[in-house]
Amino acid sequence: MAHDPNCLFCKISQGLIPSQKLYEDGEIYAFKDINPAAPIHFLIIPKKHIPMLESAELADAPLLGRMMELAPRLAKEQGCRPGKDGGFRVVVNNGADGGQEVYHLHLHVMGGPRPWKK
Closest listed residue to residue 8, CA positions, set 16, 46, 67: 16
Helices H / strands E in the chain, number of each: 2, 5
Q: Is 3 a catalytic residue?
A: no
Is the distance from CB of 90 to CB of 107 less than 8 angstroms? yes
Radius of gyration from C-alpha coordinates of the chain: 14
> Could you say which of 41, 49, 104, 106 is catalytic?
106
**Helix (H), strand (E) at residue 44:** strand 40-46
**Side chain identity at residue 70, one-letter code:** L
Which positions are catalytic? 106
